[in-house]
Amino acid sequence: MTMIRRLGAVAIAFGAFTTPVYAEDITIGLAAEPSSMDPYFHNLGPNNALIGHMFERLVEFDANQQLIPGLATEWKAVSDTVWELKLRKDTTFHDGSAFTADDVIFSFARADQYEGGNSSFRTYTKGKTVTKVDDLTVRIATEAPYPLMPNDLTTVMMMSSGAKGTGDPAKNKGIEAKDFNDGTATIGTGPFRFVEWKKGERVTLKKFDKYNGGLKQPFDNVTFKFIPAQPARVAALMAGDVDMIDNVPTVDIARLKKDSSVALSQGVSNRVIYLHLDQFREKSPFVTTVDGKPLDKNPLLDPKVRKALSLMINRQAIVDRVMEGVALPAGQLLPDGFFGRSPNLTADPYDPKAAKKLLAEAGWGDGFGLTIHGPNDRYINDSKICEAIGQMLTANGIPTKVETMTKNVFFSRASKGGPDKSPEFSFILVGWGSGTGEASSPLKSLLATFDPKKGFGASNRGRHSNPKMDEALVAALATVDDKQRGALLAEATDIGIGQDMGIIPLHYQVNTWATRKGLAYHARTDERTVAYDVYKK
């Protein structure tokens, strides 16, 4: 088996982990509800985590994002441009049908052609041609050498080509998201099968007795309750209404560490919280004069202005005051320990004088007005972070309004709420966790020139574009040697952030889970909250 290494942050845990818990039921309180049960609707953390109980990927990640077998038991490069995968024998879908190479081909085609969702998986499917060797062997070909193939295979879930209404994936016809939401098409090979989704309340899953993969099945029944309000989530755990919660509020962590009735699991994630800025419109809809009047020019097009805004943000103050110390200031896409980071970039200091000098050099010494848009139910303290940034920019001569909304509304508008389905907003708070555990994922999705045909820029809502950065990224994706590939990814990062300030990194999340006494959780660098990583303490 060919394994691609991934250097990751080590999770920090409070309490020892030993053997899995084999109990009947578990109820888990989640801060965020998925937007769909369709595995290709939205490349979003809450979706990927929960749906991954029902649908497996060809290659899986463990808690530290090390590659482990999924529906593929072996993978190897048989030539410079072709990878071969052996599929798991005797694997059945939840409806009893056999999993074969045909389902892999169908799944890739549907993910690649999917329309109507937000932030597609096309980043991981474009340029890959899947062919069948036999029922349990597939080959995936690319035009150029592609050493990150196994990492990409951790992203796309496999569904049944025989699911009701699947139709023709090449034309994106037939099956729809609603067919997954009501359970009609929610037919995977995963350790748990779909029972019910009561929107706004819960998702219920049941152990799949014929599961033959490597993920654990510690429980017969799993219920995910959606509890977005932070105090209510903690109260539900303390009252015994749930056995575990994710996204423990930062204000409660110190107190809960001292409580013997609960156990905390905590670790640095690969998620960077950052700001997108409008870099494609001469007139941006939410950029105004200082007194709030329409502005015919877009100052955010100038990298000096973007750098000035970065220098007006006191990241350490956000970490200390908003995040209660449970975060790390960010200067690039991934924290220490991840593959492809730049050695040249650190978090920008808080330097208003330097910021104002840059604004003056760019011709914006008198300032301008902004509105920052963000979700209020997706990331840890997301609305509070928006408020803090608004206050910091306002205090430094950039009067900034703050508007937050539920994540489903936010992502739809941020992705395609403008004319011709363009991004609607001018200045937004977002987060990105590397789906592949290294730097190519955020580079391809967030900073590469928007090009659906190539699968680049799927989440590039600021439409940053620099041909030199794209060139370094494309070269990295075709470079087999780890050292050379890492240097090219770092070069692309230096251009996209260090030179262009294509996004403004803010901080890396440190995530905390809490379980009732007797249970514990492996803190995951990918932030997923999954029943199969719950253990007996």
User: Is 304 part of a structural domain of the chain?
Assistant: yes
Residue 327's SS3 state is strand
**Are 451 and 308 in the same domain?**
yes
**Are 282 and 356 in the same domain?**
yes
46-99 pLDDT per residue, tens: 999 999 999 999 999 999 888 999 999 999 999 999 999 999 999 999 999 999
**Are 138 and 287 in the same domain?**
no
For the residues 420-443, what does the mean pLDDT come to? Answer: 93
**Are 237 and 92 in the same domain?**
yes
**Are 394 and 447 in the same domain?**
yes
Average pLDDT of the chain, as a whole number: 92
What CATH number has the domain bearing residue 184? 3.40.190.10
Give the DSSP per-residue string, 428-475.
EEEEEE-TTSBTHHHIIIIISPPBTTTTB-TT-TT----HHHHHHHHH
**Are 239 and 285 in the same domain?**
no
333-389 pLDDT per residue, tens: 999 989 999 999 999 999 999 999 999 999 999 999 999 999 999 999 999 999 999
User: Under a CB-based contact definition with an 8 Å cutoff, are residues 151 and 437 in contact?
Assistant: yes
| Strand positions, DSSP E, 53-170 | 59-61, 67-69, 72-77, 82-87, 129-134, 137-141
**Are 238 and 314 in the same domain?**
no
User: Is 262 part of a structural domain of the chain?
Assistant: no
What CATH number has the domain bearing residue 288? 3.10.105.10
User: Which structure tokens are listed for 500?
Assistant: 């262009």
For the residues 214-225, what does the mean pLDDT come to? Answer: 96
**Which secondary-structure segment (H or E) carries 387?**
helix 382-395
User: Is 527 part of a structural domain of the chain?
Assistant: no
- In the chain, the number of structural domains is 2
User: Is 535 part of a structural domain of the chain?
Assistant: no
**Are 153 and 190 in the same domain?**
yes
Nearest-angstrom CA–CA distance, 426 and 280: 10
139-159 pLDDT per residue, tens: 999 999 999 999 999 999 999
Q: Which residue range is the domain that position 237 belongs to? A: 22-246
User: Is 124 part of a structural domain of the chain?
Assistant: yes
User: Is 502 part of a structural domain of the chain?
Assistant: yes
**Are 361 and 454 in the same domain?**
yes
**Are 238 and 123 in the same domain?**
yes
Nearest-angstrom CA–CA distance, 226 and 231: 13
Q: What per-residue confidence (pLDDT) applies to 10?
A: 33
**Are 349 and 242 in the same domain?**
no
Which residue, 212, 246, 280, sits at the end of a domain?
246
Q: Is the pTM for the entire model greater than 0.85?
A: no
User: Which structure tokens are listed for 174?
Assistant: 């037939």
**Are 333 and 413 in the same domain?**
yes
User: Is 498 part of a structural domain of the chain?
Assistant: yes
At position 122, the amino acid (one-letter code) is: R
Q: What per-residue confidence (pLDDT) applies to 22?
A: 47
459-506 pLDDT per residue, tens: 999 999 999 999 999 999 999 899 999 999 999 999 999 999 999 999
User: Which structure tokens are listed for 189?
Assistant: 């090979």
User: Is 2 part of a structural domain of the chain?
Assistant: no
